[in-house]
Amino acid sequence: MAAPEWRLAEAAISRMKVEGNDRNEEVSLTGYAEGLHCVGLGTDAAVFIYEEVPDVAYKIYTDQALHKKEREREVYKRLEGIPYFPAFYGEGRNYLAIGYEPGPTLLDCLIQGIPVPPQVIADVEDARQLVRARGLNPRDIHLKNVVVQDGRGKVLDVSEYVLEGDDHRWDHLLWAYQLFYPSIEGKQIPLWLLDFVKNGYRRLDEANLNLEEYGQRVSALFSRFMK
């Protein structure tokens, strides 16, 4: 891609406002620009594509999260050349321009009943090793941050890779994939059921349960509702 091409969306981006809140909920959007379409919402930013440059995704940050934009830009630069992540093209005052990676996320696959082949999981494992080799910490990898493309995996949102600590999110997903997924592969899982499992996972400490005990409860829940 020619370097200046991604800048074609700058005028459209300037007409869009991304606003956060104090409740750690998804951002809200105001404004409108012809050809600019939102394809994802987070708590610090929203992701857009622009019709004139469909291979580029624009991650627009709230004013309160501009320091995270700077942090994520540096991570993308350090990940350059690793094929499991979007390419980095450039930045504006409140956005990053990166490669657009279409395809269903792991969450979409569960909801729509799209099979997730083992190669996708292997790709994420390989990506994590390569990230560590660059001196970064591959964390915050979850169902919404992995895209399936032609049976292969792509990892999105690298904003936390400079933080310390292991959040174990991917390790627990890998455990669940190996233990539970064979029994539900290809089945459509209701979103309410996935939200119930997610909320229960977040409260494991409060419930005084370990992961194995929680896994048994989840298995019983799926058996009851997925007949």
| Residues 132-144: tens digit of each pLDDT | 999 999 999 999 9
- Reference 176, options 123, 224, 107; nearest CA is 107
Q: Which residues pair with residue 19 across a beta bridge?
A: 28
Q: Which residue carries 């930013």 as its tokens?
A: 45
Segment 79-84 mean pLDDT: 96
User: Which pairing describes strands 88-91 and 152-155: parallel, antiparallel, or unpaired?
Assistant: unpaired
Q: Which string of DSSP letters, residue by residue, matches 32-83?
A: --TTEEEEEE-SSEEEEEETTEEEEEEEEEPGGGHHHHHHHHHHHHHTTT-T
- pLDDT at site 2: 46
Note the pLDDT tens digit of each residue in 116-172.
999 999 999 999 999 999 999 999 999 999 999 999 999 999 999 999 998 888 998
d(CA 141, CA 156): 8
Ordered by where they begin, the domains of the chain are 3-99 (3.30.200.20), 106-225 (1.10.510)
Determine whether 202 is exposed, middle or buried from the number of CB atoms within 10 Å of its CB (0-12, 13-18, 19+). exposed
At residue 227 the predicted structure's pLDDT band, cuts being 50, 70 and 90, is low
Percent of the chain clearing pLDDT 70 (strictly above):
94
At residue 195 the predicted structure's pLDDT band, cuts being 50, 70 and 90, is confident
